[in-house]
Chains A and B, each alone.
Chain A
Amino acid sequence: EPEVTQTPSHQVTQMGQEVILRCVPISNHLYFYWYRQILGQKVEFLVSFYNNEISEKSEIFDDQFSVERPDGSNFTLKIRSTKLEDSAMYFCASSDRSPSNTGELFFGEGSRLTVL
């Protein structure tokens, strides 16, 4: 069964360092997302990506964050200068349809980011 894969599964970094989280969405999917879950809190939307551009982003997704689909298969989330409060589990998700068009999201297993 096709699945969304994420790397790394866990990354520890120093505050101020750049981090890139990688995702390989399901191959025929067109919509891509990053969500995050801070420990003990809800799953929060970060950004959605469609047709090679950001279609929506949350207030969390400030100038320190960027996304890219560099080669048609990978979908990356970059945090330019990490802060302590960026520590969270980051989930990549993809869909073949818009969620508003009865499209479910398929999530990866997550990348745990720990900022020291």
Chain B
Amino acid sequence: DQQVKQNSPSLSVQEGRISILNCDYTNSMFDYFLWYKKYPAEGPTFLISISSIKDKNEDGRFTVFLNKSAKHLSLHIVPSQPGDSAVYFCAASGGTGANSKLTFGKGITLSVRP
């Protein structure tokens, strides 16, 4: 039951270039989307989020785009830096309930080459 899909397991980009990380979802009830970053031996840390009422949210070098009709979101990192090398998880929440859980994708490993 893969409600959140990150189909590419890895991405390698040159320092200074743009990294584009993609995520697709199937559950129409999702209305809030988040990206988490994870270094080895650490827990995931929140990076950026977007509500379904928006199609773009920007925070410094990080921009998340949401295409609701396509059920697709992407994280853009520009310019990419070697310190951005990590696993990036797309997550989604939504529906009723006081504390809807987050559903995570499998993650994508980003390597930024110096």
Contact = CB atoms under 8 A, between A and B. Distances in A.
Q: Do A and B come from one complex?
A: yes
Interface in B52-100: 89, 93-95, 97-100
Given A48-B99, A100-B93, 15 more contacts: A35-B104, A55-B99, A56-B100, A56-B101, A91-B44, A95-B99, A99-B101, A99-B102, A100-B95, A104-B34, A104-B49, A105-B44, A107-B45, A109-B42, A109-B43
A55 B98 contact: yes
30 contacts: A4-B43, A33-B101, A41-B106, A42-B89, A42-B105, A42-B106, A42-B107, A43-B44, A44-B104, A51-B98, A55-B98, A55-B99, A56-B99, A56-B100, A93-B43, A98-B97, A98-B100, A99-B32, A99-B93, A99-B102, A100-B32, A100-B95, A100-B97, A102-B32, A102-B51, A104-B49, A105-B102, A106-B46, A107-B36, A109-B42
A22 B31 CA distance: 31
Interface residues of A, number: 29
User: Contact residue range for chain B?
Assistant: 20 to 34
